[in-house]
Protein backbone atom coordinates (compact mmCIF):
# COMPACT_ATOMS: atom_id res chain seq x y z
CA UNK A 1 0.00 0.00 0.00
CA UNK A 2 1.52 3.32 -1.03
CA UNK A 3 1.85 6.42 1.12
CA UNK A 4 -1.44 7.84 2.36
CA UNK A 5 -3.75 5.19 0.89
CA UNK A 6 -4.84 3.97 4.31
CA UNK A 7 -6.18 7.38 5.26
CA UNK A 8 -6.90 9.39 2.11
CA UNK A 9 -9.37 9.00 -0.74
CA UNK A 10 -6.99 10.80 -3.09
CA UNK A 11 -3.42 10.37 -1.77
CA UNK A 12 -2.10 11.65 -5.10
CA UNK A 13 -3.61 15.06 -4.24
CA UNK A 14 -1.48 15.43 -1.10
CA UNK A 15 -0.69 19.15 -0.58
CA UNK A 16 2.58 20.05 -2.25
CA UNK A 17 2.97 23.45 -0.59
CA UNK A 18 2.50 24.85 2.90
CA UNK A 19 -0.67 26.70 2.00
CA UNK A 20 -4.43 26.44 2.27
CA UNK A 21 -7.50 27.89 3.96
CA UNK A 22 -6.90 28.64 7.65
CA UNK A 23 -9.44 27.56 10.25
CA UNK A 24 -9.23 30.96 11.96
CA UNK A 25 -6.98 33.76 13.14
CA UNK A 26 -6.08 32.47 16.60
CA UNK A 27 -2.59 31.28 17.44
CA UNK A 28 -0.92 29.28 20.17
CA UNK A 29 2.66 29.63 21.34
CA UNK A 30 4.19 26.55 22.91
CA UNK A 31 7.56 25.71 24.40
CA UNK A 32 8.28 22.03 23.72
CA UNK A 33 11.58 20.47 24.76
CA UNK A 34 13.48 23.73 24.56
CA UNK A 35 12.02 24.82 21.22
CA UNK A 36 9.43 27.54 20.70
CA UNK A 37 6.51 26.67 18.46
CA UNK A 38 4.01 29.10 16.94
CA UNK A 39 0.80 27.36 15.85
CA UNK A 40 -1.19 29.66 13.55
CA UNK A 41 -4.56 29.54 11.81
CA UNK A 42 -6.66 28.18 14.68
CA UNK A 43 -10.22 28.88 15.67
CA UNK A 44 -10.69 30.37 19.13
CA UNK A 45 -12.12 27.02 20.23
CA UNK A 46 -9.14 25.06 18.88
CA UNK A 47 -6.69 27.44 20.56
CA UNK A 48 -8.55 27.30 23.89
CA UNK A 49 -8.73 23.49 23.94
CA UNK A 50 -5.03 23.21 23.12
CA UNK A 51 -4.04 25.79 25.73
CA UNK A 52 -5.91 23.72 28.30
CA UNK A 53 -4.39 20.45 27.13
CA UNK A 54 -0.85 21.84 27.03
CA UNK A 55 -1.11 23.88 30.24
CA UNK A 56 2.38 24.61 31.52
CA UNK A 57 3.84 24.54 28.00
CA UNK A 58 2.02 27.66 26.71
CA UNK A 59 4.77 30.24 26.33
CA UNK A 60 2.33 33.14 25.85
CA UNK A 61 4.38 35.33 23.55
CA UNK A 62 5.80 34.18 20.22
CA UNK A 63 9.57 33.73 20.09
CA UNK A 64 11.51 35.19 17.16
CA UNK A 65 13.03 31.84 16.31
CA UNK A 66 9.84 29.84 16.83
CA UNK A 67 9.13 26.89 14.57
CA UNK A 68 6.09 28.03 12.62
CA UNK A 69 3.18 25.68 11.96
CA UNK A 70 0.06 26.66 10.08
CA UNK A 71 -3.26 24.85 10.37
CA UNK A 72 -5.54 24.56 7.35
CA UNK A 73 -8.97 23.12 6.60
CA UNK A 74 -9.41 19.89 4.73
CA UNK A 75 -12.78 18.49 3.70
CA UNK A 76 -13.96 15.50 5.78
CA UNK A 77 -14.85 13.59 2.61
CA UNK A 78 -11.15 13.53 1.65
CA UNK A 79 -10.50 11.05 4.47
CA UNK A 80 -11.36 7.37 4.51
CA UNK A 81 -13.74 6.05 7.17
CA UNK A 82 -11.71 3.67 9.34
CA UNK A 83 -12.97 0.92 11.60
CA UNK A 84 -10.60 1.29 14.55
CA UNK A 85 -11.73 -1.83 16.44
CA UNK A 86 -8.62 -3.88 17.18
CA UNK A 87 -6.58 -1.48 15.09
CA UNK A 88 -3.08 -0.32 15.94
CA UNK A 89 -2.86 3.33 14.90
CA UNK A 90 0.37 4.15 13.10
CA UNK A 91 0.96 7.20 10.93
CA UNK A 92 1.94 6.94 7.26
CA UNK A 93 5.28 8.66 6.71
CA UNK A 94 7.27 9.63 3.64
CA UNK A 95 10.46 11.67 3.44
CA UNK A 96 12.73 13.53 1.07
CA UNK A 97 15.90 15.55 1.54
CA UNK A 98 14.07 18.73 2.57
CA UNK A 99 10.60 17.51 3.47
CA UNK A 100 8.54 14.97 5.38
CA UNK A 101 4.92 14.00 4.65
CA UNK A 102 2.59 12.53 7.25
CA UNK A 103 -0.89 11.07 6.86
CA UNK A 104 -3.12 10.00 9.73
CA UNK A 105 -6.70 9.86 10.87
CA UNK A 106 -8.44 13.07 9.77
CA UNK A 107 -5.21 14.92 9.08
CA UNK A 108 -2.21 15.22 6.79
CA UNK A 109 0.92 17.24 7.49
CA UNK A 110 4.05 18.38 5.77
CA UNK A 111 7.33 19.43 7.37
CA UNK A 112 9.82 21.44 5.33
CA UNK A 113 13.32 22.78 5.86
CA UNK A 114 13.57 26.16 3.99
CA UNK A 115 16.21 26.18 5.49
CA UNK A 116 14.68 26.34 8.99
CA UNK A 117 12.09 23.78 9.98
CA UNK A 118 8.44 24.74 9.51
CA UNK A 119 5.26 22.80 9.05
CA UNK A 120 1.64 22.71 8.00
CA UNK A 121 -1.29 20.64 9.16
CA UNK A 122 -4.42 20.08 7.10
CA UNK A 123 -7.31 18.62 9.05
CA UNK A 124 -11.03 18.05 9.05
CA UNK A 125 -11.09 18.15 12.87
CA UNK A 126 -12.72 21.20 14.39
CA UNK A 127 -12.86 21.65 18.17
CA UNK A 128 -13.63 18.28 19.77
CA UNK A 129 -11.22 16.10 17.78
CA UNK A 130 -8.60 18.75 17.24
CA UNK A 131 -6.38 18.29 20.34
CA UNK A 132 -5.65 14.67 19.44
CA UNK A 133 -4.87 15.59 15.83
CA UNK A 134 -2.55 18.44 16.77
CA UNK A 135 -0.79 16.30 19.37
CA UNK A 136 -0.07 13.65 16.74
CA UNK A 137 1.38 16.35 14.50
CA UNK A 138 3.44 17.89 17.29
CA UNK A 139 4.94 14.51 18.23
CA UNK A 140 6.35 14.23 14.72
CA UNK A 141 7.46 17.86 14.67
CA UNK A 142 9.18 17.51 18.07
CA UNK A 143 10.93 14.30 17.02
CA UNK A 144 12.37 15.92 13.89
CA UNK A 145 13.19 19.18 15.64
CA UNK A 146 15.10 17.40 18.39
CA UNK A 147 17.00 15.25 15.91
CA UNK A 148 18.01 18.35 13.94
CA UNK A 149 19.19 19.95 17.20
CA UNK A 150 21.43 16.99 18.01
CA UNK A 151 19.06 15.25 20.39
CA UNK A 152 16.23 12.75 20.24
CA UNK A 153 12.65 12.11 21.25
CA UNK A 154 12.53 8.70 22.91
CA UNK A 155 9.83 6.30 24.05
CA UNK A 156 10.94 5.98 27.65
CA UNK A 157 10.18 6.58 31.30
CA UNK A 158 12.05 9.66 32.45
CA UNK A 159 12.73 9.60 36.19
CA UNK A 160 14.35 12.39 38.21
CA UNK A 161 16.53 11.41 41.17
CA UNK A 162 18.54 13.94 43.11
CA UNK A 163 18.17 16.55 40.36
CA UNK A 164 19.36 14.30 37.53
CA UNK A 165 17.27 12.39 35.01
CA UNK A 166 17.60 8.82 33.85
CA UNK A 167 15.72 7.39 30.90
CA UNK A 168 14.36 3.87 31.31
CA UNK A 169 13.87 2.46 27.85
CA UNK A 170 12.20 -0.71 26.77
CA UNK A 171 9.91 -2.31 24.26
CA UNK A 172 6.15 -2.04 24.68
CA UNK A 173 5.26 -4.04 27.78
CA UNK A 174 8.68 -3.66 29.40
CA UNK A 175 7.04 -1.89 32.32
CA UNK A 176 7.77 1.81 31.81
CA UNK A 177 4.51 2.96 33.42
CA UNK A 178 4.74 0.37 36.21
CA UNK A 179 8.31 1.37 36.94
CA UNK A 180 7.31 5.03 36.90
CA UNK A 181 4.66 4.38 39.56
CA UNK A 182 7.17 2.46 41.68
CA UNK A 183 9.55 5.38 41.33
CA UNK A 184 6.86 7.86 42.40
CA UNK A 185 6.18 5.68 45.44
CA UNK A 186 9.88 5.85 46.29
CA UNK A 187 9.90 9.64 46.17
CA UNK A 188 11.25 10.28 42.68
CA UNK A 189 9.70 12.58 40.07
CA UNK A 190 8.46 11.38 36.71
CA UNK A 191 9.07 13.51 33.63
CA UNK A 192 6.93 11.21 31.49
CA UNK A 193 6.23 7.48 31.43
CA UNK A 194 5.84 7.54 27.65
CA UNK A 195 7.98 10.06 25.73
CA UNK A 196 10.95 12.16 26.83
CA UNK A 197 13.26 14.54 25.03
CA UNK A 198 17.05 14.72 25.14
CA UNK A 199 18.90 17.84 23.99
CA UNK A 200 22.63 18.52 23.86
CA UNK A 201 24.13 21.11 26.18
CA UNK A 202 27.66 22.37 26.61
CA UNK A 203 28.10 19.82 29.40
CA UNK A 204 26.42 16.78 27.86
CA UNK A 205 22.70 16.13 27.45
CA UNK A 206 19.63 17.25 29.34
CA UNK A 207 16.27 15.54 29.65
CA UNK A 208 13.00 17.40 29.24
CA UNK A 209 9.38 16.39 29.54
CA UNK A 210 7.13 16.80 26.51
CA UNK A 211 3.42 17.63 26.70
CA UNK A 212 2.23 14.37 25.19
CA UNK A 213 -0.09 12.05 26.98
CA UNK A 214 1.24 9.22 29.09
CA UNK A 215 -0.53 7.27 31.80
CA UNK A 216 0.98 9.41 34.57
CA UNK A 217 0.35 13.14 34.77
CA UNK A 218 3.73 14.49 35.67
CA UNK A 219 4.39 17.13 38.31
CA UNK A 220 7.85 17.67 36.82
CA UNK A 221 6.76 18.63 33.31
CA UNK A 222 8.82 21.77 32.95
CA UNK A 223 12.52 22.45 33.25
CA UNK A 224 15.54 20.48 32.10
CA UNK A 225 17.55 17.96 34.12
CA UNK A 226 21.07 16.74 33.35
CA UNK A 227 21.03 13.24 31.91
CA UNK A 228 22.59 10.67 34.21
CA UNK A 229 21.81 7.24 32.79
CA UNK A 230 20.27 5.28 29.96
CA UNK A 231 18.74 2.12 31.37
CA UNK A 232 17.28 -0.82 29.45
CA UNK A 233 14.19 -1.81 31.41
CA UNK A 234 12.53 -5.17 31.82
CA UNK A 235 10.48 -6.88 34.47
CA UNK A 236 11.94 -9.80 36.41
CA UNK A 237 11.52 -11.91 39.54
CA UNK A 238 13.87 -9.65 41.50
CA UNK A 239 15.64 -6.31 41.24
CA UNK A 240 18.90 -6.73 39.37
CA UNK A 241 21.25 -4.24 37.73
CA UNK A 242 23.77 -5.09 35.01
CA UNK A 243 26.02 -3.33 32.54
CA UNK A 244 24.68 -2.31 29.11
CA UNK A 245 27.13 -2.21 26.19
CA UNK A 246 27.28 1.01 24.12
CA UNK A 247 26.24 -0.65 20.87
CA UNK A 248 23.29 -2.32 22.58
CA UNK A 249 22.34 1.04 24.08
CA UNK A 250 22.41 2.78 20.69
CA UNK A 251 20.38 -0.05 19.16
CA UNK A 252 17.85 0.24 21.97
CA UNK A 253 17.54 4.01 21.60
CA UNK A 254 17.28 3.77 17.81
CA UNK A 255 14.38 1.35 18.11
CA UNK A 256 12.66 3.78 20.52
CA UNK A 257 13.19 7.02 18.53
CA UNK A 258 9.86 7.38 16.71
CA UNK A 259 9.48 8.70 13.16
CA UNK A 260 13.10 9.73 12.61
CA UNK A 261 14.32 6.13 12.87
CA UNK A 262 12.24 5.33 9.76
CA UNK A 263 13.54 8.28 7.75
CA UNK A 264 16.33 7.28 5.35
CA UNK A 265 17.44 10.90 4.96
CA UNK A 266 17.92 11.51 8.67
CA UNK A 267 18.90 8.14 10.12
CA UNK A 268 22.62 8.91 9.90
CA UNK A 269 22.11 12.06 11.94
CA UNK A 270 20.02 10.16 14.44
CA UNK A 271 22.72 7.50 14.84
CA UNK A 272 25.31 10.23 15.44
CA UNK A 273 23.08 11.85 18.07
CA UNK A 274 22.41 8.55 19.82
CA UNK A 275 26.10 7.64 19.86
CA UNK A 276 26.82 11.01 21.53
CA UNK A 277 24.08 10.46 24.09
CA UNK A 278 25.41 7.01 24.93
CA UNK A 279 29.01 8.23 25.16
CA UNK A 280 28.17 10.61 28.00
CA UNK A 281 25.69 8.56 30.02
CA UNK A 282 25.90 5.72 32.48
CA UNK A 283 24.59 2.62 30.75
CA UNK A 284 22.72 -0.04 32.68
CA UNK A 285 20.21 -2.84 32.27
CA UNK A 286 17.63 -3.10 35.02
CA UNK A 287 15.31 -5.97 35.81
CA UNK A 288 12.75 -4.88 38.36
CA UNK A 289 10.21 -6.75 40.43
CA UNK A 290 6.81 -5.42 41.52
CA UNK A 291 7.94 -4.44 44.99
CA UNK A 292 9.74 -1.48 46.60
CA UNK A 293 13.47 -1.10 46.89
CA UNK A 294 14.53 -0.68 43.30
CA UNK A 295 15.90 2.83 43.81
CA UNK A 296 18.14 1.81 46.69
CA UNK A 297 19.70 -0.60 44.21
CA UNK A 298 19.97 2.13 41.59
CA UNK A 299 21.54 4.48 44.11
CA UNK A 300 24.21 1.99 45.07
CA UNK A 301 25.20 0.70 41.70
CA UNK A 302 24.37 3.29 39.05
CA UNK A 303 26.41 5.93 40.82
CA UNK A 304 29.30 3.58 41.60
List CB contacts of 232: < 8 A, sequence separation 6 or more: 169, 170, 244, 248, 249, 252, 284, 285, 286
Report which of 277, 289, 285, 287 is spatially closest to residue 302, judged by C-alpha positions: 285
Least spacing, CB of residue 244 vs another protein, in Å: 11
Identity of the residue, 271 or 287, whose beta carbon is nearer to another protein in the bound complex? 271
Which of 11-19, 108-116, 150-158, 258-266 is the region at the interface with another protein (rule: CB under 8 A)? Answer: 258-266
Burial bucket for residue 59 (CB in 10 Å: 0-12, 13-18, 19+): middle
CA distance 234 to 296: 17
What are the φ and ψ backbone dihedral angles of 283, each rounded to 5 degrees?
-120, 125
Identity of the residue, 162 or 268, whose beta carbon is nearer to another protein in the bound complex? 268
Contact pattern for another protein over residues 237 through 256, marking x by CB under 8 A: --------xxxx-xxx-xx-
Binding to another protein in span 176-195, by CB under 8 A: none
Residue 148 binds to another protein (criterion: CB under 8 A): no
Can you state the angle between helices 130-148 and 44-53, rounded to 10 degrees?
60
Identity of the residue, 69 or 261, whose beta carbon is nearer to another protein in the bound complex? 261
Using the rule CB under 8 A, which residue among 112, 220, 271, 289 binds another protein?
A: 271
Using the rule CB under 8 A, which residue among 55, 185, 262, 293 binds another protein?
A: 262
Quick one: DSSP state of residue 63? P
Identity of the residue, 60 or 264, whose beta carbon is nearer to another protein in the bound complex? 264
Strands 67-73, 117-123: pairing is parallel
Positions touching another protein (CB under 8 A) are 245-248, 250-252, 254-255, 261-264, 267-268, 271-272, 275, 278
Amino acid sequence: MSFGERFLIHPDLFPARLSGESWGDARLNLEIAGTSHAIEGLTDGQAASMAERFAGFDSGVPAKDAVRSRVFRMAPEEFRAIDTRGWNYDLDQDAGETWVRIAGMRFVARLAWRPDLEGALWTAASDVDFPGVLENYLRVLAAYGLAAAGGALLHSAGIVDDGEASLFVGVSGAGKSTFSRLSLDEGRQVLSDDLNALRPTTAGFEALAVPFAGDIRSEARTGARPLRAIVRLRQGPEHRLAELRPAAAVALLASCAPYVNRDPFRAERLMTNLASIVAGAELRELAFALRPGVWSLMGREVRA
